[in-house]
Structure 1
Amino acid sequence: MSHTAHIPSHRKPRQRASKSALRAGVAGGFLSTIAVAGAAGPAQAEPVTQTIEMPTIASNFSTAAAASAQATQQLALDIEKQADQDAAAEKAAKDAKKAHAEAVRKDEAKKKAEAAEKKAKAEAEAKERAERASRSTERTTLSASTGSSGSSSSGSSASAPSSSSNVSGSAASIVAFAKAQVGDAYVSGGTGPNAWDCSGLVQAAYRTAGIDLPRVSQAQSTYGTQVSLDNLQPGDILYWGGAGSAYHVAIYVGGGQFVGAQNSSTGTVQRSMDYDRPTGAVRVL
């Protein structure tokens, strides 16, 4: 028996290949981890530096964007303001043109109205002159006829009562004078020769017959004898209202008609008693 067979071996037993591979893998993995960690360290430092600089860039960009937006908004406001001003100016021009046209139209209308008024006034004056000339002729004729009537009455006084001839002559004179004033104007307080009020006309008509009546209608309505409206004679005084408180008077001219200075609208007119029925009448002659 060999001596070496009983001596224990000091060499380690051979490890299995799988265990060797595992240990190698672990070691390799550890070393790889260290390598990766080492490599990762420097790579992370650079992004930190870039992260610090980016807020400054973003802030500058935001400020520029805000300024641009504000400028754009101001430009839009300026454009809108200018548009409003242009519209206002255009409207003002149109209004001025319209006002001018209206002023021209009114001026032309005023001139036409003034021309028409002047023409009407001239025609009225011409007509009034013609009427005055006609009335003057009638009055001249009336005076002549009254004089001749007076002479005839004087000549026939022996054959007829003087009172009867005087009444007829006076009545004719009063009626003729009243009719000659038809067309004259009515003026309150008027006593002629071309404008009358109601009592002024009656007073003037009776004055042609030599009779001086009271001036106002109230007194004229009681000056004489009250007579019925069914028994009137030319020359009688008609009155409206109560006797002594009459507000209007006129002269009965025969044929159911009267002559009176009515009002400012109609002037002196001859009308039927049916137009405005009087209240009563007095006979002075």
Structure 2
Amino acid sequence: MPHTAHIPSHRKPRRRSASAMALRAGVAGGVLSTIAVAGAAGPANADPVTETIEMPTINPEGLSQTIAHSAQTQQQAVFDQQLDTLEETAAKKAAKDAKAAKAEAVREAEAAKAAEKKREREAAERASRTADRTSLTAPAGNNSGGGSSSNSQTPSGSVGTVIAFLKAQVGDAYVMGATGPNSWDCSSLVQAAFRQVNIDLPRVSQAQSTVGREVGTSNLQVGDILYWGAKGNAYHTGVYIGGGQYLDAANPAKGVVIQDLSGYPATGAVRVL
């Protein structure tokens, strides 16, 4: 124990100044006066307030998230609607394209089928003409006994060779200026037919109407050359084949055909066989 512990302190107690004490007394008096006035002003029998109103607490961060979520939901709905529209449009276009493709495929198939039938028909016709040409074994020569106007049978000899050649060309096309073997005009066909028996005829109709002997149209024989138009200025020729019929390369619509002379009477006829 320090040797100074038993010695009482010589510090003098601090004295408060008169002004400080007066200030504290004034403050205390004012507070008491305010309490007294408040008690006197209130009703003696007033009930105490027992209801407490609580204001909602607003969380700015939560509000921002709610707004963002709502905007995202609306944006997703718009996107879904646009996607549905695009899918519907694409489906309609695909269906339309498929229908058009099917129609085109059917058209192409029908065209291919028609072309195949045409090729088969032309091949059969060529084979028939080839067979007819191969069968032309009659010797060439000047034979005027070709037959009468009432006989449609193919004659023998030179006239028979000419008629057989002409009939083998039935079905060929008419093409102006063509000279065979599968397309002709009227005068080239007549010229080629008589060349089979070594008779060289002029190339054009006008000149063909002037060769040989004029026989008219009332005493025709098989193998006579028919012409339409004025003699020396004819515009068409053919060959009489008997039975009131003639064979010619008629026009682009008909091609090489056999026709009745009564339907298109000739102007005149000449005989070279």
Q: TM-score range by the shorter chain?
A: 0.5 to 0.7
TM-score normalized with structure 2 length? 0.59
Match of 1:129 in 2: 123
Q: 1: CA distance between counterparts of 2:105 and 2:249?
A: 35
Higher helix proportion (structure 1 or 2): 1
Task: Give unpaired runs (5+ residues) of structure 2.
Answer: 1-80, 148-155
Query: 1:228 aligned to 2:222?
Result: no
Corresponding residue number in structure 1 for 2:132: 138
Q: Does 1:188 align with 2:176?
A: yes
CA drift at 1:98: 5.7
**What is the CA–CA distance in structure 2 between the aligned matches of 1:118 and 1:174, rounded to whole Å?**
38
Deviation of 1:103 (Å)? 4.1
Shift of 1:93: 8.5
Contact 2:143 2:157 survives alignment (8 Å) = no
Q: Which moved more, 1:170-179 or 1:106-115?
A: 106-115
Q: RMSD of the TM alignment (CA)?
A: 3.0
Structure-1 residue corresponding to 2:195: 207
SS in 2 for 1:241: strand
AA in 2 matched with 1:174: V
Q: Is the 8 A contact 2:143 2:158 kept in 1?
A: no
CA distance in 2, matches of 1:247, 1:118: 39
Q: What SS does the corresponding residue of 1:239 show, helix, strand or coil?
A: strand
Q: 1:102 Cα shift? A: 4.3
Where 1:247 maps in the other structure, the secondary structure is: strand
Change (3 A) 1:165 1:238: closer
Aligned length: 187
User: What secondary structure is seen at the aligned counterpart in 2 of 1:266?
Assistant: coil
SS in 2 for 1:248: strand
Matched, 1:118 2:121: no
SS of alignment partner, residue 263 of structure 1: coil
Question: Is residue 2:210 matched to residue 1:218?
Answer: no
Aligned to 2:56: none
3-state SS of paired residue (1:231):
coil
Q: Choose 94-103 or 248-257, whichever is displaced more.
A: 94-103
Give how far 1:274 is off: 2.2
Percent identity reads 51
- Residues 165 and 270 from structure 1, CA distance in 2 versus in 1: closer, same or farther, beyond 3 angstroms? closer
Q: Structure 1, unaligned stretches of length 5 or more?
A: 1-85, 151-161
Equivalent residue of 1:246, what SS?
strand
Give, in angstroms, the shift of residue 204 of structure 1: 0.4
One-letter code aligned to 2:190? V
CA distance in 2, matches of 1:204, 1:117: 35
TM-score, normalising length: structure 1 = 0.57
AA partner of residue 179 (structure 2): T
Deviation at 1:264, TM superposition (A): 1.9
* Aligned partners of 2:187 and 2:204 also within 8 Å: yes
Mark the CA change 1:102 to 1:280 in structure 2 (over 3 Å): closer, same or farther: farther
Change (3 A) 1:238 1:163: closer
Matched, 1:104 2:98: yes
**Which has the higher relative contact order, 1 or 2, with Cα contacts under 8 A spaced 6 or more apart?**
2
Question: Residues of 1 paired with 2:266 and 2:129: CA distance?
Answer: 27
* Alignment check: 8 A CA contact 2:247 2:258 kept: yes
Taking the aligned partners of 1:98 and 1:243, their CA distance within structure 2 comes to 71
